[in-house]
Structures are given as structure tokens and as C-alpha cells.
Amino acid sequence: AQSVTQPDIHITVSEGASLELRCNYSYGATPYLFWYVQSPGQGLQLLLKYFSGDTLVQGIKGFEAEFKRSQSSFNLRKPSVHWSDAAEYFCAVGAYSGNTGKLIFGQGTTLQVKP
Amino acid sequence: DAGVIQSPRHEVTEMGQEVTLRCKPISGHNSLFWYRQTMMRGLELLIYFNNNVPIDDSGMPEDRFSAKMPNASFSTLKIQPSEPRDSAVYFCASRATGKGNTEAFFGQGTRLTVV
């Protein structure tokens, strides 16, 4: 069965420090992978996605993620965190087949940014 | 496009009452998803439709929950009768299926409180 694991429920970093949020997935085929961000009281916004090609993908707001097939991981990184990055981050895998399929989310990681 | 539109944004109802949540997907998107978000369980996929047909409803918690998609521009999620444990944020998302169209776009959510 498809699944996504985000090992860190809550992370606190200082503003300006680097960030890495971990994501591991379980999926039998080539995965479509996503990172979404959710600000309080808001819906989910796509940060970046991967489904083929270069395993290092760039997203919005200065985020990037690297797909490592051997580790079944898709970790999200940012070199310098801003206070406005405080939010909840979700990793997801698209269990797609043909023109249908579902998006399965991890439990989320809450990011707190210290001034 | 205005994005995925959900209504109402907030709903407070008494236990035992019927609740109907509404979703208008992005025009041209042919997959629609209903998710429930709680602190304890994170983002759970309840049901998804492809071309207005329910494909997977294995996430629907019990018979009190039902979802319909009578046409490509409208879907409802109904809870009858509602219970306090149904209190959560319910998200609708839509996706265009086709080469390169992989991500889902989320609405702002409906925050349901059952008292």
C-alpha cells in the first residue's frame, strides 16, 4: 500500500538558518512526489513537485527538494529560513495510474521560526 | 480561474443534524478529492471522483457520510446524522488529468464544528 512518512512532527529553526524537512514514501511504481505548505486557516499550496527528470527540483519561495530513489526519500530544503516560512508542510505521493489516481499525504511537519 | 471554491467556510451544527458541504472544482479539472483534516489523524482522503464517477470511497468513515458529483462543476459531501467526532476541516481539491498535470489544487476548506 502507498504511504508517506514525515518523521518530524514539529521543527523549530532560527531565522536565517538552513532547513531540511524529511519525507519517506512507500510506493510500488515510479512516484509522483509533492510538497505542499499550509498556513493557519488556509488551504494547501503547492511548493514543488517531481515526477521525472532532474532529481533536484526547485520550487516557490526558495525551496528545493531532492528525490533519492535508493532511500525512498524526497526531503525538502531551504538554505535560509524566513519568519514567514512558519507553517505546516506536507509531503505527498501521487498514486496515479493512467488518468486517475489519488494523492496521499504524510502527517505533516509544523515549522516554527525563532527570531 | 477563481480556484477551488468551497462553501460554507464555517459550519456549526448540533449533533444529529444533517450537514452538507459544497465544492466547485476548477473548470476543466476532471478529478475531485474530498479530504478531512484533524489534529489526530492529519489529512485523510475520504473519496475521490474521476469524470464525476466515484473511484475510491474506502476512506469514507461510515455510512453517515455520502458524497455526490452530479456534474463536472459541483460536488457535495453530506453527513447525516452528524456527530461531535465529525468536527474537522474538510478540504476539496481538484486536478486535471493528463500529461504533466499532476498536482491537485485545494480549496480553502470548510471548518465543521458539531456540538
Rounded-to-integer distance, Cα B104 and Cα B32, Å: 9
**Residue among B102, B103, B109 whose CB faces A43 most closely:** B109
User: What residues have CB less than 8 Å from A14, skipping those under 6 apart?
Assistant: A81, A113, A114, A115
For B29-58, how does the pLDDT look when each residue is reduced to its tens digit (9 = 90+)? 989 999 999 988 889 999 999 999 999 999
Cβ pair A2, A103 in contact under 8 A: no
Contact B33 A103 (CB under 8 A): yes
Question: What is the nearest CA distance from B88 to chain A, expressed in angstroms?
Answer: 12
Q: Please name the amino acid found at residue B28.
A: G
Query: B52 and chain A: CB distance < 8 Å anywhere?
Result: no
Write out chain B residues lying below 8 Å of A32, CB-based. 102
The pLDDT tens digits of the residues spanning B87-101 come to 999 999 999 877 666
Contact: A107, B102; criterion CB under 8 Å? no
Over its C-alpha atoms, chain B yields an Rg (Å, rounded) of 14
Q: Which residues pair with A90 in a beta bridge?
A: A36
Over the stretch A94-112, which tens digit does the pLDDT of each residue have?
877 766 778 889 999 999 9
- Which of A36, A51, A105 has the CB atom closest to B42's CB atom? A105
By the CB < 8 Å criterion, does A97 face chain B?
Answer: no
Distance, in Å, from the CA atom of A75 to the CA atom of A53, rounded to the nearest integer, reads 17
- Are the Cβ atoms of B43 and A90 closer than 8 angstroms? yes
What's the pLDDT tens digit per position in A5-57? 999 999 999 999 999 999 999 987 778 899 999 998 888 999 999 988 889 99
Question: Is residue B6 over pLDDT 70?
Answer: yes
- Characterise B98 by phi-psi region: left (phi > 0), alpha (psi -120 to 50), beta (else): left
Cβ count within 10 A of residue B8: 13
Choice between A65 and A101, residue whose per-residue pLDDT is larger: A65
Burial of B72 (0-12, 13-18, 19+ CB in 10 A): middle
**A30: which chain B residues are within 8 Å (Cβ-Cβ)?**
none
Is B108's CB within 8 Å of A99's CB?
no
Map residue A99 onto helix, strand or coil.
coil
Residue A54: phi and psi, rounded to 5, are -55, 130
B44-to-A55, A79, B23, B89 alpha-carbon distances in Å = 28, 31, 17, 11
Closest B-chain CA to A88: B42
